[in-house]
Structures are given as C-alpha cells and as structure tokens.
A = this chain, B = another copy of it.
Amino acid sequence: MQSMTSLNKITDFRRPVAINLANRTATSACDDCAARHHGLCEALSDEEVGFLFRAAQRQTLPAGTVFIEEGEAAAYFYNVNSGNVRLFKSLPDGRRQITGFAGPGHFLGLAATEKNVFSAESMEPVRLCRFSRAALLSMFAEYPILERKLLDVAMHELVLGQQQMLLLGRKTAIERIASFLLSWAERQDVCSSGALPKPHSSLTLPLSRTDLADYLGLTIETVSRSLSTLKREGLIEIPNIHEVVLLRPQALSDIAEAAV
C-alpha cells in the first residue's frame, strides 16, 4: 500500500535544493497571484517562487489575443495567472480543434518542439508570466524540483489527452457532452477527482457553443441539440447560457461512460 506511491506525487521526493535569499518584493508580488498555490508555483517555496518571479516577464492581454501561434518558433513558456485560455490546432481551411483549456496556475508550452505545435488565445482578459526557454532551462539546474513538477504536469496532460482521444474517436454526441460536463465539474472542483458531483451542482461555462463544438469535435448545432436533449430528459438545467446545473450526475456518468 505504502509502496504504491502515486506517480503524480513524485514531487514528494524533493531533493534538498540550495535556497538563496529572494528579495521580498518579488515574493510578495506572487503572494497576490491567483496562481500562487496552484500548478507549478504551488510546488515551490517562497524563495523559489521569488527566483522564478525574477526570471519572468509579466503580461496582461485583452480577450481574444492569440499569444502562441502554431508554427512559430517556440521561444517562451507561460504560466497563467488569471483568466482562461484556449489551446487549439487549425487546418488551413479553417477547421479547428481545441486541444485544451488553461486557467490560473496552468503551465503552457510543454507540447512543443522547436516550433509551437498549437496556438493559444485568451478567452477573457488574461495575466501571464512568461519565461524564455533559456531562462527556464537555467532554472532547472538551480531548482530541480521545477523539472519534477513539470513532469507531473506533463503526465497529467497525457492522461487528459488520452481521455479526449477516446471521446473524439469513439463517443457519440450525447456521450461527449455528458463527458465534458462531468470533466468540467471536476476541473471546477465541484467534486473531488474521480468522484461524481452532487446532484444539483452548478457549473460555470466560460466557453461559447463554438468553443464547446471545437473542443468536442462536433458542430455548434449538434452541441445545442445535445444539451437540449439532456435538458428535456431532466438530467441538466440551463438557467442561462454560461451556466449548467447537473440535476442527475449519475445518469450523466452512465451516458458518458456508456455504462451497460
């Protein structure tokens, strides 16, 4: 049991690292950051965060800004401080596949080679910390825990990616919508990982129907129709366009997982 160490907990095996005296200005700036205790930064001490802070450039972007462009040289990594971001790939004729969303604390840029293999666009006003590749690489040498944490992050994204492949390759429209609602509930901490949300849990969807369609590999019409079906059958309520109430999570789960 004890030996069954979670692989997503490899950060538990922290090596001792040299601690330098971070300047207080830096640290306290991070104190106010919504991402201070999420994602990458949560694994770091105040001193380490201070070091990271000094290596970062801060950016504030209005909604709808594409700040990572597929095919461009991949010069930077990003950490989201506030706001939500959509990640996507496009085909020349305009077809788009959203591969994921990044909110506060999420680290961007792991799926990259020399060129970015995806684009990123702010869905709302967004604040970011930006790191050059060189800066991040040099930080690895100083703070090995970063590397370890990034491996955790990458592993988690691999898990999500595989789930999404099953969804896109093999699930029906209704199953995709049900799966999405439950995974979004988990993301919003409405329920603990793996558990079902309580009946009548309410979700906020900062995404448009178009985003939803491009994420689930459907059209907006099919998304709309599937949501209507779930509503008609009493599994969800849609008080307004950006809100969904999960009336019967178990029934949603049965659909999402194609329970027999």
A residues at B contact (CB < 8 Å): 3-8, 10, 13, 15, 73-75, 89, 91-93, 95-97, 99, 109-114, 117-118, 132-134, 137, 140-141, 144, 147-148, 150-151, 154-159, 161-166, 168-171, 214, 216-217, 257-260
By a CB distance below 8 angstroms, the chain B residues around A7 are: 74, 109, 112-114, 133
| Chain B residue at minimal CB-CB distance from A74 | B7
Contact B154 A13 (CB under 8 A): no
CB distance from A134 to the nearest CB of B (A): 5
A158 in contact with B165 given A10-B140, A134-B5, A170-B96 (CB within 8 Å): no
CA distance A140 to B89 in the complex (A): 34
By a CB distance below 8 angstroms, the chain B residues around A110 are: 154-155, 158
| Chain B residue at minimal CB-CB distance from A15 | B141
CA distance A63 to B129 in the complex (A): 49
CA distance A144 to B111 in the complex (A): 21
Contact B162 A258 (CB under 8 A): no
CA distance A114 to B6 in the complex (A): 5
Task: List the 7 closest A-B pairs by CB distance, nearest first.
Answer: A169-B217, A161-B161, A168-B168, A111-B158, A154-B154, A97-B169, A97-B166
By a CB distance below 8 angstroms, the chain B residues around A258 are: 91-93, 95
Besides A3-B133, A13-B140, A97-B169, 10 new A-B residue pairs in contact (Cβ under 8 A), listed by A number: A4-B133, A89-B165, A91-B166, A93-B260, A111-B155, A117-B162, A140-B148, A161-B165, A168-B169, A170-B217
By a CB distance below 8 angstroms, the chain B residues around A5 are: 133-134, 137
Contact A141 B13 (CB under 8 A): yes
CA distance A111 to B162 in the complex (A): 8
CB distance from A114 to the nearest CB of B (A): 5
CA distance A13 to B217 in the complex (A): 39
Which single member of B4, B93, B99, B159 contacts A117 (CB below 8 Å)? B159
9 cross-chain CB contacts under 8 A? A3-B132, A89-B162, A91-B171, A92-B260, A93-B260, A95-B170, A111-B162, A158-B161, A170-B217
